[in-house]
Amino acid sequence: MAMIPPDVQAEILALHFGQKKGTRAIARQLGINRKAVRRVVEQRKVSLKPQAPENGRSSILDPFKPRIEEMLKRDPTIGASRIQQQLRTEGYLGGYTILRTWVAKTRQTPTRSREAFLRIEFAAGETAQVDWGEFGTPFNDGVKVHCFLMVLCHSRLLYIEFTRSEKFEEFIRCHENAFRFFGRRVPLEIWYDNLATAVTDRMGSLVRFNARFMTYMGHHTIRPHACNPARGNEKGRVEDGVKYVRSSFWAGRSFRNFEDLQAQAALWRDEIANLREHRSTRKIPKLHFETEERKLLRPMNEHAFDTCEVFSRVVPPNFLIAYETNRYSVPWTLVGLTLTVRASEKTLEFYYNDRKVAAHARSYLKNRIFELDSHKQGLLERKPGGSRDGWQIQALKNIGPALSEYLKLLRAGHRSIRSEVSRILALATVYGEPAVNDACTELIAMSMIGVDQLELILKNKFHPAHHPLAPKPITFQNPKLNRVVPTVDLRRFDALLFASAAPVGELTSSGETLTSASEKGSSHENENNPYGGGDHGVGAASGTDADHGKCIATAGAGGGCHDPLPQGAEAQALERDAPVGSGGDDAAGAGAHTEIPGQVEPDGASQTPRKHDRKPD
């Protein structure tokens, strides 16, 4: 049964005891059941919790409630299903829903007891705290960015520096930069958590510091202190500093590169972080440091501490020395020798017997190879086959400087290098290397590449009609194979057919009269007939006029009827356009008497053809 709201209960009591109304009238006025009104009147008070009836119905869960409370007390996280499994073995026959509802009401949410801490106060110049913060890979190059923080505990002056590793050398280098930022001054002690670069072993309060780290601490007479594990409250100054950097500097910023990140961080540190009013001290950290703490810090050692990483490596056969994930070349003549490597923040230097033999700019990228051509120059002379370029590439580079530049542009594009190189070498064979180099220079000046454009430039400059091209035709031992057969224009034969198809006596546009080819052939039967003349030739042409139209009938082998041909004026036009034929040459072997007809003139006359008599055996 639903509980009557407390304000309605108060109104019922006021109407009954104040205005002396009965339960029926109150129920009618308020629109509620009169039995509910009677219960409120009988209890004479406003109830905030529903009260179970004294003679209420018992639940099947009642005998097991003490057992459930015992199980919840032993393990507050135990689930209702596990309680049901246990109660089944003890005789519980009820359902899961009633059990889950009662467990949810009875279970007490465990509350973790809050631990009390003592506030630690630090005197001016006494202590600094150091920590690292990791900020992922903002440049998507696989290199993580880390932030080094050092905070002076009294003035809260903050120094931050972003690095690309947490190696010991970077750790010490950041210390040196922080001390310079504090005016070349150092505190009495510095607190650290259990960094691997500072602490090598720990058991309770017994701490073993890194030997190299202790050497650096002794260099500046600083006392290190290792905080207890998992006790961030012991160095809350720097822990809060990491959170502050994430929220105030890192959030919402973008960086072009790592140098831009360092520049923005230094600007934020000097103009925002150290000029703000600190929420704990209510003072400006920079001003507080200048007025109170700076004079109490001790000066740092005037002799600089070497922060370079120094190690030895044996030069392998490929004369590439591995450092981190990259490989750097050294002169190939040092293969098998042991070199000393000095890795600084920006450079890698290689020494042999205190003499620098090579140097590279340090790269923080992954799996790269850095080579210098001078390191393998002598090796290529001893082993010419060791060059990465094939003979085609080398031959192309030898043509001229323009082709070397062309190859660089070709590598950056999408064109087939193999096809381009092969065709350019072929063009150099045909046009000559100087011509190809000049054409390539002109093509690059036009901001273009491509062997098709290069060949077009060469063709325009060296047309076959004006420039003989190399290579020369191949010559054979048999002189007959070296003869060049002239090209015959077949339109001259068409002109003969047109002349024979024209009607006899028809006037042309110039007023001349056409004569039949047969009439002219009769006067020059043996000299001008290209087919041997007379009735014994390959075929004598004569014009006929059939029912289906005008056609040419050819006697002899291959005779037949052709489509109607143009009339006299059109035949004359074709005859004028026909070029003068060139003479022939001897046949390759023994053959019959051969004649090549000449061009037919507009008046029907034919030039005297050149005759080639068969040589006597």
pLDDT band for position 147 (cuts 50, 70, 90)? very high
User: In this structure, are 67 and 134 located in the same domain?
Assistant: no
Same-domain pairing of 79 and 133: no
Q: What pLDDT score was predicted for residue 56?
A: 55
- Domain boundary among the residues 382, 397, 414 is at 382
Q: How far apart are CA 65 and CA 105, in angstroms?
A: 12
Q: Is residue 138 located within the same domain as residue 275?
A: yes
- Please indicate, yes or no, whether residues 137 and 279 belong to a single structural domain of this protein: yes
Confidence (pTM): 0.48
Do both 202 and 327 map to the same domain?
no
Q: What would the pLDDT profile of 207-228 be if each residue is shown by its tens digit? A: 899 899 999 999 999 999 988 7
Token code pair at residue 20? 């002396």
> DSSP characters for 392-403?
HHHHHHHH-HHH
111 occurs within a structural domain: no
Do 182 and 144 belong to one domain? Answer: yes
Q: Which amino acid is at 294?
A: R
- Per the CB < 8 A criterion, the answer to whether 420 and 427 are in contact is no
In a domain, 37, yes or no: yes
- pLDDT above 90 covers what percent of the chain? 29
Mean pLDDT within 63-73? 89
**Confidence band (pLDDT; 50, 70, 90) for 579?**
very low
Is 60 exceeded by the pLDDT of residue 116? yes
Tell me the residue range of the domain where 412 lies.
Answer: 389-461
> Residue 322 burial (CB < 10 Å; 0-12/13-18/19+)?
exposed
* Any domain includes 441: yes
Segment of 38-47, 142-151, 376-385 carrying the highest mean pLDDT: 142-151
Per the domain annotation, does 113 fall within a domain? no
Query: Cα 116–121–123 angle (5° rounding)?
Result: 170
Q: Would you say residue 230 has pLDDT above 80? A: no
Spatial separation of the C-alpha atoms in residues 155 and 22, rounded to whole Å: 77
pLDDT at 568 over 80: no
Long-range CB pairs of 314-318 (<8 Å, 24+ gap) are 314/338, 314/339, 315/339
From 382, 417, 433, the end of a domain falls on: 382
The answer to the question of residue 484 being in a domain is no
CA–CA distance, 118 with 453 (Å, rounded to integer): 83
pLDDT of residue 169: 93
Cα 239 to Cα 133: distance, rounded to the nearest angstrom? 9
Sign of the alpha-carbon dihedral angle for 586, 589, 590, 596: negative
pLDDT above 90 (res 286): yes
d(CA 550, CA 563): 8
Q: How confident is the model at residue 148 (pLDDT cuts 50, 70, 90)?
A: very high
Mean pLDDT in residue range 147-163: 94
pLDDT tens per residue across span 349-378: 999 877 888 999 999 888 899 999 888 877
Confidence of residue 477 (pLDDT cuts 50, 70, 90): confident
Segment of 18-27, 160-169, 455-464 carrying the highest mean pLDDT: 160-169
What is the pLDDT at residue 126? 93
pLDDT in tens, 393-435: 878 888 888 888 888 888 888 888 888 887 888 788 667 889 8
Q: State how many domains the chain has.
A: 6
Selection from 314, 321, 319 nearest residue 349 by Cα = 321
Greatest CA span in the chain, whole angstroms? Answer: 162
Residue 477 inside a domain? The answer is no
What average pLDDT is seen over the chain?
77
More confident residue, 466 or 121: 121
Is 360 a member of any domain?
yes
| Together in a domain, 293 and 320 | no
Q: What is the pLDDT of residue 125?
A: 92
What's the confidence (pLDDT) of residue 153? 92
Cα–Cα distance measured from residue 365 to residue 194, given in angstroms and rounded to the nearest whole number: 28
Same domain, 234 and 327: no
Quick check: 111 pLDDT over 80?
no
Give the pLDDT score at 370.
94
Question: Do 209 and 263 share a domain, yes or no?
Answer: yes
In degrees and rounded to multiples of 5, residue 353 shows phi and psi of 55, 50
Average pLDDT of 485-510? 64
Residue 555 has pLDDT above 50, yes or no: no
Domain co-membership, 169 together with 92: no
d(CA 179, CA 299): 9
pLDDT of residue 599: 44
| Range of weakest confidence among 78-82, 493-497, 587-591 | 587-591
**pLDDT for 488 beyond 50:** yes
Domain boundary among 360, 382, 404: 382
Residue 210 is assigned to a structural domain of this protein: yes
H/E segment holding residue 348: strand 347-352
pLDDT digits (tens, 9 = 90+) for 296-325: 999 999 998 999 999 999 999 899 999 988
Q: Please report, for the chain, how many H helices and E strands are present, in that order.
A: 20, 20
Supply the pLDDT for residue 237. 77
pLDDT (tens digit per residue) in 236-250: 777 888 889 998 999
- Given a cut of 70, is residue 32 above it in pLDDT? yes
Residues 283 and 406 in one domain: no
Are 373 and 442 members of one domain?
no
